[in-house]
A and B are shown apart, each in its own frame.
Chain A
Amino acid sequence: AQTVTQSQPEMSVQEAETVTLSCTYDTSENNYYLFWYKQPPSRQMILVIRQEAYKQQNATENRFSVNFQKAAKSFSLKISDSQLGDTAMYFCAFMNRYSGGSNYKLTFGKGTLLTVNP
């Protein structure tokens, strides 16, 4: 079974600054996906960024980038030029890569509450 650990229950950052959220995971699989989801007070989980484990290049999406360290099983999210609208819960999640059945099940961490201060 996979586990995902987010060791920072809460973090805060000043607007326009950079913040990094940590995530570690445990799996015996070699091929998988990793995700960061954002959950604002509206409750809808919004996909922020996705990483395929077999790709060595770190994923980037505008102001969001990841530092994927496969050997260390670490997957941190960096948010640059933080904006007030980035305030939300952020969840790290794991999914097996092989198709079919509940291999598509996501395993989530407990989340990090990020507050961006003006």
Chain B
Amino acid sequence: GAGVSQSPRYKVAKRGQDVALRCDPISGHVSLFWYQQALGQGPEFLTYFQNEAQLDKSGLPSDRFFAERPEGSVSTLKIQRTQQEDSAVYLCASSSGGGEGYTFGSGTRLTVV
């Protein structure tokens, strides 16, 4: 596609519910990143994929967070047993590699109530 597409745009979850956030990167982009952006803060790195391989998951805040990219294109970020502190915007970005910078999606705003 022409850009990075994320869905849903908004998600309200009850505490303890599981959620799945989808990212559809630009076709052919090898690198895919997930970031978490709390209100009033800059984005913080969660995890990185190169094709289907998850090369870095050091930013995932707990074992309730899980990401996958099984076929090297679409990626899903799953949060189990959501907590209020998980409320944030989750941004996905893709890149063809190198230092050109990424293309970001518009994010999913998750609100845990």
Contact = CB atoms under 8 A, between A and B. Distances in A.
Interface of A: 4, 33, 35, 37, 42-47, 50, 52, 91, 93, 95, 97, 99, 101-102, 104-111
A102 B48 contact: yes
Contacts of A45: 43, 91, 93, 102, 104
Interface stretch (B60-68, B76-84, B105-113): B105-113
A110 B42 CA distance: 4
Given A42-B106, A50-B100, A101 B56 contact: yes
B41 A110 contact: yes
Contact of A107 (B45, B97, B100, B107): B45
B52 to A, nearest CB: 15
Contacts of B41: 110-111
A93 B93 CA distance: 14
B18 interface: no
A44 B45 contact: no
Nearest to B102: A106
A95 B44 CA distance: 13
B14 to A, nearest CB: 23
Contacts of A52: 99
Given A104-B97, A105-B48, A43 B107 contact: yes
